[in-house]
Chains A and B, each alone.
Chain A
Amino acid sequence: GAVVSQHPSWVICKSGTSVKIECRSLDFQATTMFWYRQFPKQSLMLMATSNEGSKATYEQGVEKDKFLINHASLTLSTLTVTSAHPEDSSFYICSARDTGSSDTQYFGPGTRLTVL
């Protein structure tokens, strides 16, 4: 149980294009999902908290107009990187909190974004 999927697992795009990443909880409902960014050999940096049916809460320094988050259902949250640039290249990981089991977070497999 408690499986989180993420799609795509990797994507290469040209500078200026937009990329959408999906995060799904497969066997549980997730009122809250989280989006992280991870640079090589570094820790997980929280970008935003995604709440089903409401606006996402962004961490300080994260541009909400550049990283669009939509959490339209209890099993799906999407992150869209708009007008991507090479500096947006990173490993993006989502996590989902199982609504039925309090505070435990389960992570997706991550998406490797490379912007040329």
Chain B
Amino acid sequence: GENVEQHPSTLSVQEGDSAVIKCTYSDSASNYFPWYKQELGKRPQLIIDIRSNVGEKKDQRIAVTLNKTAKHFSLHITETQPEDSAVYFCAASQGYSTLTFGKGTMLLVSP
């Protein structure tokens, strides 16, 4: 089955800095890679996703890059703000199959 590794487990940045979270996956058949943001005690919320037919996708301050050859994808947050502080999860799946999640990254943005 699919295995998703996520790094780092914690990330502390100053407000305004960029933050990068990286994930690797094992199943070359995986073709869908979403990123979720979860605040304490709340539901995971989809913030961006990418499919294997593109290498990069951007939405305002958030971008995701995908390297199919190396089987890794990354989340990039620019101009971080304190409200970006949360746990971020990457995931991978093949089409309509189940999502396999990484272990999460706790991002702390200090004012």
Contacts and interface: CB of A to CB of B under 8 A. Distances in A.
A109 B42 contact: yes
A110 B43 contact: yes
A97 interface: yes
Contact of A106 (B41, B46, B89): B46
The A interface, classified by DSSP as helix, strand, loop or mixed, is: strand
B42 to A, nearest CB: 7
Contacts of A34: 98-99
Interface residues of B, number: 20
B98 A103 contact: no
Interface in B29-73: 32, 34, 36, 41-46, 49
Interface string A2-21: 00100000000000000000
A67 interface: no
A54 interface: no
B96 A107 contact: no
Contacts of A4: 43
A104 B46 contact: yes
Interface string B76-98: 00000000000001000101101
Nearest to A46: B98
Interface string A81-101: 000000000000100010000
A109 B96 contact: no
A43 B89 contact: yes
Contacts of B32: 103
Nearest to A34: B98
B45 A107 contact: yes
B34 A43 contact: no
Interface of A: 4, 32, 34, 42-44, 46, 49, 93, 97, 102-110, 112
Given A42-B103, A43-B102, 17 more contacts: A4-B43, A34-B98, A34-B99, A42-B104, A43-B89, A43-B104, A44-B101, A46-B98, A49-B98, A93-B43, A97-B96, A102-B96, A103-B93, A103-B96, A104-B34, A109-B42, A110-B42
